[in-house]
Structure 1
């Protein structure tokens, strides 16, 4: 069952889908682990439309929000957000409103950075974190150029730039029809919001907080991702105790959209995080 809700957070309505474990699942609703899925810059929860339902079939309760100003959420009261820590605070308020504690978190791009943001807040421990397509340090964009671009983001060419830029960010192992669908869906974004998100991407840095991580972490990079350096992601993962790194061959910036059976892969990662977390929690309690 998919539950759609609007929640008042920071004086604006935020939209969230909650995908409950299906009737055929072997896990009871009350015992189902919760997974928070975070979308990429300028996009919204629709990026997780196939994965969320498939994870629910496997017994997870899946929470898929639209960040402020994205999709069906109202804009942030203060205008477009350029500091990803603001989104991090908003996500915790969302989880509080839903009475969720210690969720698994999986995010991509700015969602990957937000996953690291939440994982490095020891006062609010997670069950586990899967950060995809994100480095711990500042994103590789020209922040000054993006700030100038905010003056003309509504130009008619922006939609085509988004479409073509998305195609260029998809790995060559992805079938042409699937790549075209991803790019077509992405061109719906609000250019003011996406440029602001990318400014946040370009200044967000948790490298000095990686030592604070209290949950198992899995960092994932696409081999053909033009927005990151996989070797840097691998190095970042080595700075987190017990973290795992995975390189996806032939995949670009959007694994959850590019990989057809991504839910199967993600559920395997989540199972592994749960196994790694169990002895750590026992040790912490003793």
Structure 2
């Protein structure tokens, strides 16, 4: 079941209230799941049960996405603000320094939270922020085209399209290597989430100048990249490794940009290996 929580965030305008939707399942050490731009927390459903067998799993809709409210008026969607808001969310949920797993934008946010000392381990799946300018323009152009397509399709047409394997591939082939594995209902829901994301444009605008250039030593970090990622090309993983020399760089064979659906067992294993290594490191 999805719940909501409201909490105070700091902003240049002073304290403001943010409200975020989340799902929580399992028990153990906390593990926070962060989706990518235009997506929603349901992106994690293929791996949630596996992770919840060992951890207290919290999947969130980022501010301005999914069922979460947009950030308060005048508050920007820059990396520092959103990462700080996620830290405030953890406090509101009674969570201290969770393991954080993020995909795309979520991976970038996970690394920024690590830089702020807010996490105990990071698994970043195709994280944003390691692109060249040409690669960034390509990715943003693809995202804008996907958003325009989602807005142009009336819901009945979207539902008809999602019923066929060819239609699901047309709708989500940019982010999945195996789009036909997604159910018609899931494809409809994530296309609507992309269409209705109130934070999309502001997040994209804030990301135009973002390059992640900081090491985060002292905690386990895994950067994992799908070999069939068509949005953020896998050579960006090499740049991430240069920036984060202590990180483990992992290939995800046959996976696209959002690998949780393409190979749930592999993604879960990568996440669990990273989180468990933090526990061993603490002994």
Instruction: Give the TM interval when normalised to the shorter protein.
Output: 0.7 to 0.9
**Structure 1 residue 213, shift from structure 2 partner:** 3.7
- The answer to whether residue 254 in structure 2 is matched with residue 250 in structure 1 is yes
- The answer to whether residue 124 in structure 2 is matched with residue 118 in structure 1 is no
Aligned to 2:65: 70
Aligned to 1:8: 7
Match of 1:168, SS? coil
| Inter-partner Cα distance in structure 1 for 2:173 and 2:150 | 21
**Structure 1 residue 83, shift from structure 2 partner:** 1.9
Aligned to 1:56: 52
| Inter-partner Cα distance in structure 2 for 1:158 and 1:214 | 49
Does the aligned pair in 2 maintain the 1:237–1:243 contact within 8 Å?
yes
**Structure 1 residue 79, shift from structure 2 partner:** 6.6
| Inter-partner Cα distance in structure 1 for 2:228 and 2:247 | 22
Aligned to 2:176: 170
Is the deviation greater in 188-197 or in 129-138? 188-197
Does the aligned pair in 2 maintain the 1:141–1:198 contact within 8 Å?
no
Q: Evaluate the alpha carbon distance shift between residue 78 and residue 35 of structure 1 in structure 2; reply closer, same or farther with a 3 A threshold.
A: same
Aligned to 1:239: 243
- The answer to whether residue 212 in structure 2 is matched with residue 206 in structure 1 is yes
272, 280, 283: which one aligns with 2:277: 272
Superposed CA deviations along residues 158-187 of structure 1, whole A, max 9, x for unmatched, are 987x9635213212xx37243766543320
- The answer to whether residue 17 in structure 2 is matched with residue 43 in structure 1 is no
**Structure 1 residue 242, shift from structure 2 partner:** 2.1
5+ long unaligned stretches in structure 2:
9-15, 159-166
Q: Evaluate the alpha carbon distance shift between residue 260 and residue 130 of structure 1 in structure 2; reply closer, same or farther with a 3 A threshold.
A: closer
5+ long unaligned stretches in structure 1:
22-31, 280-286
**Structure 1 residue 73, shift from structure 2 partner:** 1.4
Match of 1:85, SS? helix
Alignment of 1:188-207 (within 5 A): 188-189=192-193, 190=196, 192-207=198-213
- The answer to whether residue 88 in structure 2 is matched with residue 93 in structure 1 is yes
Does the aligned pair in 1 maintain the 2:83–2:109 contact within 8 Å?
yes
**Structure 1 residue 39, shift from structure 2 partner:** 0.8
Q: Evaluate the alpha carbon distance shift between residue 158 and residue 270 of structure 1 in structure 2; reply closer, same or farther with a 3 A threshold.
A: farther
**Structure 1 residue 274, shift from structure 2 partner:** 3.2
Match of 2:182, SS? helix
Alignment of 1:20-39 (within 5 A): 20-21=26-27, 32-39=28-35
Structure 2 length-normalised TM: 0.77
Does the aligned pair in 2 maintain the 1:110–1:201 contact within 8 Å?
no
126, 133, 138: which one aligns with 2:126: 133
Aligned to 2:225: 221
| Inter-partner Cα distance in structure 1 for 2:258 and 2:90 | 24
Aligned to 2:161: none
Q: Evaluate the alpha carbon distance shift between residue 41 and residue 145 of structure 1 in structure 2; reply closer, same or farther with a 3 A threshold.
A: closer
| Inter-partner Cα distance in structure 2 for 1:101 and 1:18 | 15
Superposed CA deviations along residues 74-120 of structure 1, whole A, max 9, x for unmatched, are 12112795423322111011011123222111000100111111122
Superposed CA deviations along residues 228-271 of structure 1, whole A, max 9, x for unmatched, are 23222123223324210001111110111221323344223322
Does the aligned pair in 2 maintain the 1:69–1:80 contact within 8 Å?
no
| Inter-partner Cα distance in structure 2 for 1:130 and 1:154 | 29
Does the aligned pair in 1 maintain the 2:126–2:226 contact within 8 Å?
yes
